A and B are shown apart, each in its own frame.
Chain A
Amino acid sequence: MTDSFNEMFEGERIRPPYTRLGDWTESMPQELKRLKQAEAEALFRRIGITFAVYGEGGDPDRLIPFDMFPRVFTQGEWRRLERGIVQRARALNAFLADVYDRGEIVKAGRIPGHLVWRNEAYEPAVAGIRPPRGVYSHIVGIDIVRTGPEDFFVLEDNCRTPSGVSYMLENREIMMRLFPGLFRENRIEPVDGYSESLRRMLASVAPAKCSGEPTIVILTPGPLNSAYYEHSFLADLMGVELVEGQDLFVEGEYVWMRTTQGPKKVDVIYRRIDDAFIDPLCFRPDSMLGVAGLMDVYRSGGVTLASAPGAGVADDKAVYVFVPEMIRFYLGEEPILQNVPTWQCGKRDDLRYVLEHLPELVVKEVHGSGGYGMLVGPKATAEQVAAFRERLVAHPANYIAQPTLALSTCPTFVDEGVAPRHVDLRPYCLVGERIELVPGGLTRVALTEGSLVVNSSQGGGVKDTWVLAE
């Protein structure tokens, strides 16, 4: 991967944001690195931050590997990213408000209607319902990759319940404990304001019927969910209750929480449960995780759900192709962040190209996530490519394809010392009364040499992400 952009080294020269880190790593003896890495792992274990991997069996409490070498952005780089992310979050929410109302973007012919109305994630039950402040996706996680000094691309949008923000916060916490000196030598923008921003955002979208200080809860599927740690972590940081479906009930116009002091009205639910499970009365009748009658309370304005049911239609991979169009259509602006060029396999010409170039491309399932239903052409065996070709031909509309991007690399501690590994970035954008995001986000790193798959479910690790202050 000699042609991919190295974020630290330009030949022999160290790029400006990393200047001070050059001395740091060179002056650190190998033995100290090992000690620090062991200390980091012990800290993560003690905190209990683990990530279960779906469908792989094995240890559900496996640690997600943490790499101590930070990823660094200059203030200028971040400013541009931030503007691009905010622009995208606004457009995605405008799209959701539109497709659950009059669908002007479809009428204008800017996106094919079938991609919206026939989409599994389009939820007819919320059409015509306007949530507080018109916000549908309150926490937008946008996955960004870099291919050059100025070249950032959006890989995908996550409008439902993007996870991983607890890693962003913990990575910083651990780095500050391990290397306090680094934080004296470098002026690094803090990230610990996230929980307060999240709480403020959730309070700002309380229903109109709520007077006074809104009661906020986080609704989790329970301890068996892979992100349960994150749910309880965020509840602790915000000082709100972490509840399961059985802790809530509907009576009259509101949702109530059982407490030792009797029922307490709940105004805002940050739900980490999928749409299909949140209300057995409205959606899956066999769901034991949700709250019966919740959707009626939501739709009649008695409670806010973040994110709104049906928000997933905006982050569908087939809809992704049209996000730049959304930005032009709703905001009248040109996109600051570009999409990765994408072939829609449901189109005949696109499919022909994809089939001819399969070994060079990354092919993804339209509704998939977590890196499970994908093919990374250059890394796949001939048998894997052949097997995938069959699935693709059988259901072309289920797939999109993208060129294999030369993802940027960041120095990473490996057994032999320090070596470049591919990285991506997921910043978390909060959308309420205001739109804000903490500087940085979660950097995921593909720990295997040459690997481009950064998903934690596929053996990726994480890094602390720095934005240098001016």
Chain B
Amino acid sequence: MILTVFHATTYRYDPPVRGVVQSHRLTPARSRGQRVLDWDVAVSDGVAGGGFRDGAGDWVQSHSAHGPLSAITVTVRGRVETTDLAGVLRGHRERIPPEAFLRETPPTRADVALTDLGRDALAGASDALDRAHRLAGAVHAAIAFQPGATHAHTTAAEALGLGEGVCQDHAHALIAAARSQGIPARYVSGYLAMGLADGQSQSQVQGVMIGAEPQQVQGVATDYEAAHAWAELWVDGLGWVGFDAANACCPDARYLRLGSGLDSRGAAPIRGIARGAGAESLDVAVAVEIAQQ
């Protein structure tokens, strides 16, 4: 399958700021499941910094811009050929051992409820893959998809308590429950194509910035999130396997993987910090489409 991606993020500053530094995890790594045909990340202002492949196999590219700056736009355009591997990450080169993904972070800290959910889900499981599927199923059942119920800094425990959330919350909860049972797990950010090239899959995106709360988030909201997030769990014998607890499935050819981390902050496609006191607002447009062949 060939996916086309258009993803534009505009940060606006009022009053203008003195400068901006960003760290981008916006370039898909090559693996058996995805092959980049064209890919371009353009920034409206400033200069590119150094880029490097991190220990988890993701390309990280830094970018900085001088002020005064009232807005900066990051635009991603690309085409990627994807293959359905039932969520299994194959041929992805990385250094970090799975055990390093057992540590807790603030949003993925397992409270009693998450630990119980993890333990109950594993009762009667037959093998490692079955365990992972049961965990993902339990999180899907416990948290209803409900945009607006949570925000960028909601923790896994809070989302489970609410029983509502979006993909970020499902991913955090699955990660926390898995780690509480000794299963390495990590957060994956990426894209999800929800339909053919008819412009229907535009959506808003949240949780990709730090340093300031977005004052307002604009964009075309739909039922789906083209900028998506899911979790990967370590399954002995298979390696890393993706689980999208929000949609109760494993990633297939409609999914495009950008990068991973211990939590949403670690895997964020764009992290940025502005120098100056300007209030920040965010504008995001994402369209991910299945190219007509």
Do A252 and B49 touch across chains, with their CB atoms under 8 A apart? yes
Known: A299-B54, A300-B50. A128 touches B60 (CB 8 A): no
Stretch at the interface among B97-105, B136-144, B168-176: B97-105
Do A124 and B62 touch across chains, with their CB atoms under 8 A apart? no
Known: A118-B102, A252-B64. A292 touches B21 (CB 8 A): yes
B187 to chain A, nearest CB (A): 12
- B37-80, CB under 8 A of A: which get 1 and which 0? 00000000001111111111000101010100000000000000
Chain B interface helix/strand/loop/mixed: strand
**A236 lies within 8 A of chain B by Cβ:** no
Do B99 and A128 touch across chains, with their CB atoms under 8 A apart? no
Known: A118-B103, A281-B21. A297 touches B49 (CB 8 A): yes
B47: chain A residues within 8 A (beta carbon): 251-252
Stretch at the interface among A95-103, A167-175, A400-408, A422-430: A95-103
Do A127 and B54 touch across chains, with their CB atoms under 8 A apart? yes
B103: chain A residues within 8 A (beta carbon): 118, 120
19 contacts between A and B (CB under 8 A): A103-B97, A114-B99, A122-B100, A127-B54, A127-B95, A249-B275, A250-B21, A251-B49, A253-B49, A281-B210, A285-B211, A292-B275, A296-B49, A296-B50, A297-B62, A300-B49, A300-B50, A300-B51, A301-B52
Give residues of chain A (44-91) contacting chain B, Cβ–Cβ below 8 Å.
none
Bound-state Cα–Cα, A127 to B211, Å = 25
A300: chain B residues within 8 A (beta carbon): 49-52, 62
**B125 lies within 8 A of chain A by Cβ:** no
Bound-state Cα–Cα, A297 to B23, Å = 10
Residues of A within 8 A of B (CB): 100-103, 106, 113-114, 117-118, 120, 122, 124-129, 249-253, 280-282, 285, 292-293, 296-297, 299-302
**B272 lies within 8 A of chain A by Cβ:** yes
Ordered nearest first, which 6 A-B pairs have the shortest CB separation? A300-B50, A127-B55, A128-B55, A296-B62, A117-B99, A293-B21
A296: chain B residues within 8 A (beta carbon): 23, 49-50, 52, 60, 62
Tell me the nearest residue of chain B to A249, going by C-beta. B19
Give residues of chain B (81-96) contacting chain A, Cβ–Cβ below 8 Å.
94-96
Tell me the nearest residue of chain B to A291, going by C-beta. B21
Bound-state Cα–Cα, A281 to B211, Å = 8
B49: chain A residues within 8 A (beta carbon): 250-253, 293, 296-297, 300, 302
Bound-state Cα–Cα, A302 to B102, Å = 31
Which of B52, B99, B210, B273 lies in contact with A299, CB distance below 8 A?
B52
Known: A280-B273, A297-B62, A300-B62. A253 touches B100 (CB 8 A): no
Known: A293-B23, A297-B49. A128 touches B97 (CB 8 A): no
A128 to chain B, nearest CB (A): 4
B23: chain A residues within 8 A (beta carbon): 281-282, 293, 296
B169 to chain A, nearest CB (A): 20
Give residues of chain B (252-272) contacting chain A, Cβ–Cβ below 8 Å.
262, 271-272
Bound-state Cα–Cα, A281 to B274, Å = 10
Do B64 and A128 touch across chains, with their CB atoms under 8 A apart? no
Bound-state Cα–Cα, A124 to B103, Å = 11
Do B97 and A113 touch across chains, with their CB atoms under 8 A apart? yes
A114: chain B residues within 8 A (beta carbon): 99
Tell me the nearest residue of chain A to B47, going by C-beta. A252
Do B95 and A125 touch across chains, with their CB atoms under 8 A apart? no
Which of B19, B60, B66, B96 lies in contact with A124, CB distance below 8 A?
B96
Do B262 and A124 touch across chains, with their CB atoms under 8 A apart? yes
Do B99 and A118 touch across chains, with their CB atoms under 8 A apart? yes
B35 to chain A, nearest CB (A): 22
A251 to chain B, nearest CB (A): 5
Do B211 and A113 touch across chains, with their CB atoms under 8 A apart? no
Tell me the nearest residue of chain A to B103, going by C-beta. A118
